[in-house]
């Protein structure tokens, strides 16, 4: 008979989104020696603190600073994963991810399939997404839809500190490559985090119930949607906010369920119109609820420009609370 | 500065059985690829096919110096690496023919054939892109203390991909048990190495990173093996290296393109054919004509059997289409 060690009870603490990512890596590394972190400046936890102080606990073999070599680092992560390790590759800003995407898309996402199931690549990639504020067009972009279009890749889109913790713990049990798309506006936002639990699956959550319309969104979009919903409630328009923990795999069932209940849907993203996540989510809504909708699915995303530097222009690019509220009123008015 | 080819004591086959063992493997690769090339022309092999005829001494020389638990990552011209690593020729041919019994269940083909059980981690088709995987695989060996090395094969065409240099840097920086093997067959499709690669050559570039970088005669399987043995011992001890093997492909780049006349002359081809790696070994090791004929016949039978096996294997069931996208 084997006696399992007593399980530590979950610990609850208030922490930031970045601290939650760090806590999740720490908790997972403590129980799984195959986890190795790779990235630029990760020993110092620079720039967002998502790996802060981990080197002190786990050492430089497992918290491994890399040169500025995104392609080789990503490939090295894939090679580690092929050999049975669980690497976490950090790419701090979205623009730098492209240098590693040949490795991630051509090798990481395809090796299991191309090998007829022989090769597994349990790789986790962390990458910042969206605007941080006046970092210019190369540091400010979204790639969730691009990545979610790649068969074999999972793309996680946490919206809160608790989501970030759950996303990382889930990713570190996955059998295939996972990208955690970290909305950079969220790194400093705080929330209560229950540590110690590893979710079996990531499910979409109704984070505010309502009966007039649904806002389907993810990442920082959830913050924007909740603010818009609060202001709409003052006008007696009750909007449901559905938070997606991942774009791939997509929780199509939860999307259809909410859409069928509220009969009107706004897909809120930070992508430009037509070929981004908005279009993708709208197709999921239509597939699951076309016969129950009272209005066409509406999409609201960014303006189709490279992100400008100066704050007064940059603030016009991504959807505001006001724009979301206006879009909901348009949706309700259209179908009244 | 010129690159000095390493000049070890003239390597010799250890025994007659040892020479026959090396010859047998090279003959199998030669015959297998001849059969595969014809099978392409006859419609059994789809898409395209890249054969390494003329380069067999590199595959066999390097891999014969390894342990069974060492691993290999390969590229689009990788049948030789696979066979030398012990992959079953029947299942490899079945993969080329897109059959259910193929090593990758017909999902990969020649350019993505993989056999993990034999330490053959796969052929990958983006030039240079398998190299950092070998670095990561080697890092895992270092962290878990297996003592195994990982070999990354690539061609002269990959010598100007940035990821090669990023990978060499990581290998040197972290003292990884990895060996980079550049099969310099003188042409990247139609572009001569001299038209694409500046400086003193690839081995010299490796030395700039603090790696052991050596140039070896890639037509001489004994020289390749001896060099790799030394490199593997060093790599296991944390001193990674690069072996540049001078070689030549006797055929065109892929299916249907000519072996000479467009971008290289018949005279040049003939000159290299005079250094056919199978003949170089037979001469150096004193293999008798009779023994050579036996080994050739054995290889020919194995290659023919492989194609017969492949043809008799079923096509993958349509239900397998969506399998293995994820676990």
pLDDT band for position B254 (50/70/90)?
confident
Q: How confident is the model at residue A7 (pLDDT cuts 50, 70, 90)?
A: low
Residue B257: band (very low, low, confident or very high) from pLDDT cuts 50, 70, 90? confident
pLDDT tens-digit series, residues B12-56: 888 999 999 999 999 999 999 999 999 999 999 999 999 999 999
Q: How far apart are CA B276 and CA B321, in angstroms?
A: 42
Residues in chain B closer than 8 A to A176 (CB atoms): 326-327
Residues with Cβ within 8 Å of B262's Cβ and at least 6 positions away in sequence, in order, are B190
Chain B neighbors of A75, CB-CB under 8 A:
129, 131-133, 135-136, 163, 167
Residue A100's pLDDT is 98
Please, where are the H alpha helices in chain A? 17-31, 54-62, 70-82, 94-101, 111-114, 144-148, 161-171, 220-233, 252-262, 277-289, 311-314, 321-335
DSSP A59-118: HHHHEEE--S-HHHHHHHHHHHHHTT-EEEEEE-SHHHHHHHHIIIIIIITTHHHHTTT-
Report CB contact under 8 Å: B136, A106.
no
Q: Please give the structure tokens belonging to residue A192.
A: 């209560």
- Neighbouring-strand partners of residue B71: B150
For A130-156, the pLDDT digits (tens) are 999 999 999 999 999 999 999 999 999
For residue B77, the tally of other CB atoms under 10 A from its CB is 28
For residue B150, the chain A residues in CB contact (below 8 A) are 79
Per-residue model confidence (pLDDT) at position B226 = 97
CA-closest candidate to residue A149, choices A247, A51, A215, A59: A247
Assess whether pLDDT exceeds 80 at residue A12: yes
- Best of A64, A72, A84 to substitute, by most chain B Cβ atoms within 10 angstroms, is A72
* Bridge partners, A63 (sequence order): A37
Report B:93-122 residues touching A (Cβ under 8 A).
102-108, 112, 114-117, 121-122
Cα–Cα distance, B136 to B158 (Å, whole number): 18
Q: Which chain B positions have a beta carbon within 8 Å of A84's beta carbon?
A: 140, 144
Q: Are the Cβ atoms of B104 and A67 closer than 8 angstroms?
A: no
Task: Name the closest residue on chain B to residue A173, using Cα atoms.
Answer: B327
Please give the share of chain A, as a percent, with pLDDT higher than 90: 96
Which of A61, A102, A119 is opposite residue B143, by nearest beta carbon?
A61
pLDDT category, A64, cuts 50, 70, 90? very high
Q: Give the residue from chain B lying closest to A85, CA to CA.
A: B140
The answer to whether A330 is a known catalytic residue is no
User: ipTM of this model?
Assistant: 0.95
**Contact B275/B219 with Cβ under 8 angstroms?**
yes
Number of CB pairs, chain A paired with chain B, less than 8 A apart? 141
Does the pLDDT value for residue B194 go beyond 70? Answer: yes
Query: Within 10 Å of residue B282's Cβ, how many Cβ atoms?
Result: 20
Q: Is the pLDDT of residue A87 over 60?
A: yes
Task: Report the pLDDT value the prediction gives residue B24, as an integer from 0 to 100.
Answer: 98
**A25-62 burial, b if ≥16 CB within 10 A, otherwise e?**
bbbbbeeeebbbbbbbebbebeebbbbbebbeebeeeb
Is B55:B82 a contact under the CB 8 Å cutoff? no
């Amino acid at each position: 008979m084997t006696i399992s060690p007593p399980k530590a009870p979950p610990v609850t603490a208030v922490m930031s989104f970045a601290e939650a990512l760090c806590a999740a890596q720490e908790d997972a590394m403590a129980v799984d020696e195959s986890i190795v972190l790779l990235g630029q400046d990760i020993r110092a936890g620079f720039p967002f603190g998502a790996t802060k102080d981990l080197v002190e606990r786990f050492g430089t073999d497992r918290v491994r600073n890399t040169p500025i070599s995104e392609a080789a680092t990503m490939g090295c992560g894939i090679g580690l994963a092929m050999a049975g390790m669980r690497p976490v590759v950090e790419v701090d800003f979205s623009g730098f991810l492209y240098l590693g995407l040949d490795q991630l898309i051509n090798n990481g996402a395809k090796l299991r399939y191309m090998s007829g199931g022989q090769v597994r690549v349990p790789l986790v990639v962390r990458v910042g997404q969206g605007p941080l504020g006046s970092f210019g067009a190369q540091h400010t972009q979204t790639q969730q839809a691009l990545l979610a279009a790649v068969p074999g890749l999972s793309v996680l889109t946490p919206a809160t500190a608790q989501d970030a913790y759950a996303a990382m713990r889930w990713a570190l049990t996955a059998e295939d490559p996972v990208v955690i798309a970290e909305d950079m506006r969220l790194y400093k936002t705080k929330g209560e985090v229950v540590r110690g639990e590893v979710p079996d699956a990531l499910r979409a959550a109704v984070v505010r119930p309502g009966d007039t319309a649904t806002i389907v969104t993810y990442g920082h979009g959830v913050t924007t949607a909740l603010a818009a919903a609060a202001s709409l409630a003052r006008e007696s328009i009750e909007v449901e906010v559905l938070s997606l923990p991942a774009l791939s795999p997509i929780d199509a069932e939860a999307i259809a369920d909410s859409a069928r209940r509220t009969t009107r849907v706004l897909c809120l993203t930070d992508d430009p119109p037509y070929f981004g996540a908005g279009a993708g989510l709208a197709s999921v809504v239509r597939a699951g609820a076309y016969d129950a909708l009272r209005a066409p699915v509406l999409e609201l995303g960014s303006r189709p420009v490279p992100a400008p530097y100066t704050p007064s222009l940059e603030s016009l690019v991504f959807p505001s609370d006001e724009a979301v509220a206006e879009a909901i009123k348009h949706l309700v008015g259209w179908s009244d | 500065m010129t690159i000095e080819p390493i000049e070890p004591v003239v390597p010799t086959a250890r025994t007659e059985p040892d020479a026959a063992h090396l010859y047998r493997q090279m003959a199998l690769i030669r015959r297998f690829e001849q059969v595969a090339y014809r099978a392409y022309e006859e419609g059994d092999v789809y898409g395209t096919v890249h054969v390494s005829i003329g380069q067999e001494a590199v595959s066999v020389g390097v891999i014969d110096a390894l342990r069974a638990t060492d691993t290999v990552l390969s590229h689009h011209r990788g049948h030789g690496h696979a066979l030398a690593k012990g992959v079953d020729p029947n299942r490899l041919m079945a993969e080329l023919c897109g059959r259910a019994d193929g090593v990758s269940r017909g999902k990969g083909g020649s350019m993505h054939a993989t056999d993990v059980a034999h330490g053959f981690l796969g052929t990958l088709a983006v030039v240079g892109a398998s190299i950092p995987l070998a670095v990561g695989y080697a890092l895992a060996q270092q962290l878990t203390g297996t003592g195994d090395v990982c070999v990354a094969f690539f061609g002269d065409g990959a010598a100007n991909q940035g990821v090669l240099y990023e990978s060499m840097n990581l290998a040197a920086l972290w003292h990884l048990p990895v060996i980079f093997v550049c099969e310099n067959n003188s042409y990247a499709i139609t572009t001569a190495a001299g038209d694409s690669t500046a400086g003193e050559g690839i081995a010299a570039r490796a030395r700039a990173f603090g790696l052991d970088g050596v140039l070896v005669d890639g037509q001489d399987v004994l020289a390749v093996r001896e060099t790799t043995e030394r490199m593997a011992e060093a790599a296991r001890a944390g001193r990674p290296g690069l072996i540049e093997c001078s070689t030549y492909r006797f055929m065109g780049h892929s299916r249907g393109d000519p072996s000479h006349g467009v971008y290289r002359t018949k005279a040049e081809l003939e000159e290299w054919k005079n250094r056919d790696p199978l003949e170089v070994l037979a001469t150096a090791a004193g293999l008798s004509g009779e023994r050579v004929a036996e080994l050739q016949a054995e290889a020919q039978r194995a290659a023919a059997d492989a194609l017969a096996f492949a043809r008799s294997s079923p096509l993958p069931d349509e239900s397998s289409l969506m399998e293995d996208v994820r676990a």
